[in-house]
Amino acid sequence: MLTVLSQHTSDTNRDRAYADLRRRFADWDEVADAPLPALARAIRRGGLGPTKAVRIRAMLRGIRESSVPLDEHAFTDTPDQRLWDTLVALPGVGPKTAACVLLFSLDRPFFPVDTHVHRVAIRLGLVPPRADAVATQAAFQESVPDEEMYALHMNLIRHGREVCTAQRPRCSACVLRDLCPRVGVTSSR
C-alpha cells in the first residue's frame, strides 16, 4: 500500500495519505469495497488520488480474490510462495516490487533486483551479460541462502551507488577488483 502511495510524492505526503486512509476506513475490506471517489478523496494529500485509488482497490480485491484475507495477520500466516504468487499477479506489481514488499515489510527471503544490483551482477559475471532484471532476480533467488539475502541486497546496492557506478565505476578503489572480470571497463553497464 505504501509503495503505491509513495509514487510521485514525498515520504511526508505518502505518510499523510496513509494515515488519512486508515482513519477514513475501518479496515482493508472497507477500502476494497469503497467507491473510487471516496477512496481518492481519502488519499488526496499524497497526490494522484484518482489514479492511486484505482490501483489500491484493484490490489486489495486481487489479494482477497486469491483467498488471502485482508486482516492484519493475513500475510504473517501465508506461505512464502503463495504470497509471491499473489503479489506478482496483482496489477502493476512486478517481481522487484513484490520482492521488496516481501523482504522489507514481511521479512521473507526474497531478493529484489534494482538497477544497481542488476548492473553490478553483470559486471561481476554473476549472471550472463544479457540477463535481464527478472532473470537476475531468479538467479539470486535460487542461489543466495535465505539468511544472507537482506545483507547481500543492501551491500550490492551500496556498492553500485558508491563504487560500481553506472557511468564511471571506481575500479581502482573497488574491493572486488581482483575478482571482477571487467576491471577497468567504463561502459554504461
**Sites of contact with ligand SF4 (CB under 6 A):** 120, 123-124, 163-164, 169-171, 174, 176-177, 180, 182-183, 185
Nearer to ligand SF4, 95 or 160 (CB): 160
The distance of closest approach from Cβ of residue 124 to ligand SF4 in the complex, given in angstroms and rounded to an integer, is: 5
Closest of 80, 73, 78, 86 to residue 146, by C-alpha: 80
Cβ proximity to ligand SF4: between 48 and 126 the closer is 126
Nearer to ligand SF4, 88 or 185 (CB): 185
- Do 96 and 113 contact (CB within 8 A), yes or no? yes
* Rounded CA separation 44/5 (Å): 10
Work out how close the CB of 172 gets to ligand SF4 at its nearest, in angstroms, rounded to a whole number: 8
Residue 181 CB partners (closer than 8 Å, separation 6+): 123, 124, 125
Kindly name the residue from 96, 118, 123, 159 that is annotated as catalytic: 96
Rg (CA), the chain: 19
Q: Is 52 a catalytic residue?
A: no
Residues belonging to the active site:
96
